Amino acid sequence: SQTIHQWPATLVQPVGSPLSLECTVEGTSNPNLYWYRQAAGRGLQLLFYSVGIGQISSEVPQNLSASRPQDRQFILSSKKLLLSDSGFYLCAWSHGESYEQYFGPGTRLTVT
Amino acid sequence: DAKTTQPPSMDCAEGRAANLPCNHSTISGNEYVYWYRQIHSQGPQYIIHGLKNNETNEMASLIITEDRKSSTLILPHATLRDTAVYYCIVSPRQTSGSRLTFGEGTQLTVNP
């Protein structure tokens, strides 16, 4: 069966520090991968999605970036965090034309 | 993608049916209606989807009006574990990954 992992589960970082969040998927190949962010009490905002290695599409311009160095690995990065980057970051995957997206457990980021 | 409107909150008694409405008056012919739910501090979970026919699975039923401008998600026998935010999403089926736009959703509280 397929599983999706995210780490760390929680993270507290100072303003201006770098960020690297990792997401990996097991049990499937060539998945579509997504990064979402959820601010406190709000809906999910799609940040990036990828349909293959090295193929990244950005939905919202910001100081975040994403990379997909391997088929089942998706990384969210920032060179300098802002207070507004605080939130719940969720990675998800889907397959081909599947209607379903499967979400990871998320990383709760607090920028202080 | 078409916009959806959902009530911000609803209550339901345990064991009773929970009927969650969603308006999507600007839905276009190739757009599907998806429902996801998010239990507190977890990633969203896919529930069901439909195009124009009513759909049922082990989790819920989806009733779509004939003009497709609104739909209702039905949880036939709500339990305390169904307390969550429920998201109604309208989106076309993507040929390479499904980009879903999550709004604010409906906070469903199931009371004992």
Residue with tokens 């607090």: A110
Residues facing B88 on adjacent strands: B35
* pLDDT (0 to 100) of residue B93: 73
Chain A residues with CB inside 8 Å of B87's CB?
43-44
Average pLDDT, rounded, for chain A: 92
Could you tell me the two tokens for A36?
A: 């979402």
- Taking an 8 Å cut-off on Cβ atoms, the answer to whether B97 and A49 are in contact is yes
Closest by alpha carbon to A23, among A58, A71, A62? A71
Distance from the Cα of A80 to chain B's closest Cα (Å) equals 26
pLDDT exceeds cutoff 70 at B95: no
Termini Cα distance of chain A: 38
Query: Scanning every residue of chain A, which has its alpha carbon at the shortest distance from the alpha carbon of B107?
Result: A41
Higher pLDDT, residue B97 or A109:
A109
* Contacting residues for A61 by C-beta, under 8 A, at least 6 apart: none
| A107-111 and A10-13 strand pairing | parallel
pLDDT per residue over A65-87, tens digit each? Answer: 999 999 999 999 999 999 999 99
Residue with tokens 């719940």: A88
Percent pLDDT > 90 in chain A is: 74
Which residues does B contribute to its contact with A (CB < 8 Å)? 32, 34, 36, 41-46, 49, 87, 93-105
- Taking an 8 Å cut-off on Cβ atoms, the answer to whether B44 and A42 are in contact is no
- Taking an 8 Å cut-off on Cβ atoms, the answer to whether A99 and B94 are in contact is no
Find the mean pLDDT for residues A36-47: 88
- Taking an 8 Å cut-off on Cβ atoms, the answer to whether B44 and A104 are in contact is no
Residue with tokens 């409906």: B106
* Minimum mean pLDDT range among A26-30, A106-110, B20-24: A26-30
- Read off the amino acid at residue A7: W
